Amino acid sequence: MATYKAPVQDMQFVLERIVGMEQRLAGIERFSEVSDDLVRGVVEEAAKLIEGSLAPLNASGDEQGCRLEDGQVYTPDGFPEAWRLFSEGGWSGLSQSEEYGGQGLPFVLSQVLMEMMAGANSAFSLYPLLTAGACEALEKHGSAELQATYSPKLVSGQWSGTMCLTEPQAGSDLAQVKTRAEDAGDGSYRLNGGKIFITGGEHDMAENIIHLVLARLPDAPAGIRGISMFLVPKFLPDADGNPGERNGVNCANIEKKMGIHAASTCVLNFDDAVGWLVGEEHQGIQNMFTMMNLARLGVGNQGLGICEAATQNAIAYALDRKQGRPLARKGEAATDTVLIAEHPDVRRMLFTMKAFTEGGRVLAYEAAASADVAAHHPDDETRQKAQDFVDLMTPICKAWLTDAGCELAGTGVQVFGGHGFIREHGMEQFVRDARINTLYEGTNGIQAMDLVARKLKLHNGRLINTYLDDIATFISAEKGNDALAFIVQPLGEALDGLREATERVREALGSAPDDAGAAAYDYLQALSLLAVGYAWARMARAVQGEDTAFARSKLTTARFFARRLLPRVHGLLPAIYAGADELMALPADELA
């Protein structure tokens, strides 16, 4: 069975010495009492809870799954108790506003928590992810009355939240949404329609479930400009604010899925369901993106959690399993076997897993910490620069980290060999659970298009230009540091390649849009590798001159990344420049 132990030392190293969380949040009144010591305490306590209560339920939750009986979804054994422990410990409100009973801690800590939860129990992590998104959307767009009624209980975990976008005909294309809402004349609305793929749409863990639903009013304009957002509770609150009458929203089915079996993925029907408008009419897409953008960072951290879990289990197995002899000892007795960790090709896999996981952690935490600065820093210019970074890194964190989760889950199976293909070892569950992360909250292809078609153009290219300039400044500052030349030089070469690729893709957006679309995914991959290389260069600098096992591991992995993985950037450039001619040459009906 797979196990999970939170990588507390590495998490703290990234937060303190790479992200510089205490310094980064200085000057923000809301976080005036947040120190490295406080953060260490939070991370250590979260690790205890998650290792003790969530990790043991991962395999059994996958095996048992959810079940639907008479409209009620029952989660696997132990899940309601785990939700209660999670909520009563205040973890559901870790970064939520103190005004509604939250702890008011930085968003980045909620993302550290998300990584831990996903590494320990990916299915469970979805319930708090969606609930936090509902809290955020209500805080930003809900009326004072809605906030007073719903926010405190969402923050406390007494109630949970969902995001209801998708319909059978409207997946990523939300302009096709058909669910209808009509004004009831008393301040409420009546919703009719159906939604699919609704994570946590029905379950037995919380007292009530609060759905944020996209729907159309009768006079709504066509397309996405005619969509509004509504709050629809499973149970209508009574006069005391407790769950009362059952609302007209019901679970018709739960999906039988490839993975995340313990997460209830529901088909919901709305039959004259009572709801309330959230924000202005026809502003539903904008309001929903408040949830979605933060959720995309959260999904990236789910991918990171899978990376970590797969990596630590693969390393543990490689340090236990004996098979074969190295080539240098080929003539020795057949019984004189060695640990598989001694074989160079196994080392290649393990170092790839370490390099992507530990480098990806920097990307994820830096984006989340920047979201805190963007939301709360008193200086306008500082807020704007932080928001630019968040906007640029959101598709990278969502897409690259979740792609890495799939790659490393598969690599972990490969390290185990045939045993990895067998359910009892738990590695194949990582493969199944990881796949969804590349699909929901906007597929990774959509993330690539968002990066290329929107983020490269935003503010006349300011986002990407500033980021590339920051990397160039680092390279210039470290050029005389001979001990870092092993990574600074190839990082500079990769940066030069990305600068040219960025200009060519931006030009294609105006002159040959299909060429830009064809380049988008490869461009995202190349930029992500550059970003991870920048992360490894800073980590190598941070431990330079230290003689500890931790520092030696960091420096060796940084060298591996610089020599074996960063060069992938140059292999992607020809694909970025290849254009779309052969992709679009055949009529669609000739693809079959």
Of 475, 455, 453, give the one whose Cα is nearest residue 463. Answer: 455
Q: Are residues 269 and 200 in the same domain?
A: yes
Does residue 366 sit within a domain? no
pLDDT for 334 equals 60
Does residue 291 sit within a domain? no
pLDDT for 113 equals 98
Q: Are residues 21 and 57 in the same domain?
A: yes
Q: Are residues 168 and 138 in the same domain?
A: no
Domain tally, the chain: 3
Q: Are residues 578 and 495 in the same domain?
A: yes
Report residue 385 CA to chain centroid gap: 22
pLDDT for 333 equals 62
Q: Are residues 123 and 188 in the same domain?
A: no
Q: What is the CA radius of gyration of the chain?
A: 24
Does residue 345 sit within a domain? no
CB contact at 8 A, 533 and 475: no
69: β partners: 72
Q: Are residues 19 and 132 in the same domain?
A: yes
Give, in order, the Cα–Cα distances in Å from 324 to each of 165, 313, 332, 412, 417: 53, 21, 10, 19, 13
Does residue 281 sit within a domain? yes
Supply the CATH number for residue 212's domain. Answer: 2.40.110.20
Q: Could you tell me the residue range of the domain that residue 257 belongs to?
A: 159-285
Q: Where are the beta strands (DSSP E) in 341-423?
A: none
CB contact at 8 A, 2 and 427: yes
Please report, in tens digits, the pLDDT of each residue of the chain (592 residues total).
899 999 999 999 999 999 999 999 999 999 999 999 999 999 999 999 999 999 999 999 999 999 999 999 999 999 999 999 999 999 999 999 999 999 999 999 999 999 999 999 999 999 999 999 999 999 999 999 999 999 999 999 999 999 999 999 887 888 889 999 999 999 999 999 999 999 999 999 999 999 999 999 999 999 989 999 999 999 999 999 999 999 999 999 999 999 999 999 999 999 999 999 999 999 999 888 877 888 999 999 999 999 999 999 999 999 999 998 878 776 666 668 899 999 999 999 999 999 999 999 999 999 999 999 999 999 999 999 999 999 999 999 999 999 999 999 999 999 999 999 999 999 999 999 999 999 999 999 999 999 999 999 999 999 999 999 999 999 999 999 999 999 999 999 999 999 999 999 999 999 999 999 999 999 999 999 999 999 999 999 999 999 999 999 999 999 999 999 999 999 999 999 999 999 999 999 999 9
Q: Are residues 463 and 584 in the same domain?
A: yes
Q: Which of 285, 319, 352 is the last residue of a domain?
A: 285
pLDDT for 430 equals 98
3 state DSSP class of 245: strand
Does residue 523 sit within a domain? yes
Q: Are residues 134 and 187 in the same domain?
A: no
Q: Are residues 211 and 182 in the same domain?
A: yes
Report the C-alpha gap between 54 and 77 in whole angstroms.
Answer: 12
Q: Which of 285, 304, 321 is the last residue of a domain?
A: 285
Residues serving a catalytic function are: 441
**pLDDT (tens digit per residue) in 387-422:** 999 999 999 999 999 999 999 999 999 999 999 999
Tokens matching residue 465: 């230009």
DSSP 272-324: EEEEEEESSTT-HHHHHHHHHHHHHHHHHHHHHHHHHHHHHHHHHHHTT-B--
Does residue 428 sit within a domain? no
Of 249, 454, 314, 282, give the one whose Cα is nearest residue 3. Answer: 314
CB contact at 8 A, 274 and 248: yes
Does residue 328 sit within a domain? no
Q: Are residues 113 and 201 in the same domain?
A: no
Q: Which of 258, 285, 312 is the last residue of a domain?
A: 285
Q: Are residues 134 and 110 in the same domain?
A: yes
CB contact at 8 A, 137 and 131: no
Q: Are residues 592 and 484 in the same domain?
A: yes
User: Who's near 274: CB < 8 A, 6+ residues apart?
Assistant: 184, 188, 189, 190, 191, 232, 233, 236, 247, 248
Does residue 299 sit within a domain? no
Report residue 430 CA to chain centroid gap: 15
**pLDDT (tens digit per residue) in 315-334:** 999 999 999 887 877 666 66
pLDDT for 292 equals 84
CB contact at 8 A, 139 and 93: no
Q: What is the pTM of this model?
A: 0.97
Supply the CATH number for residue 18's domain. Answer: 1.10.540.10
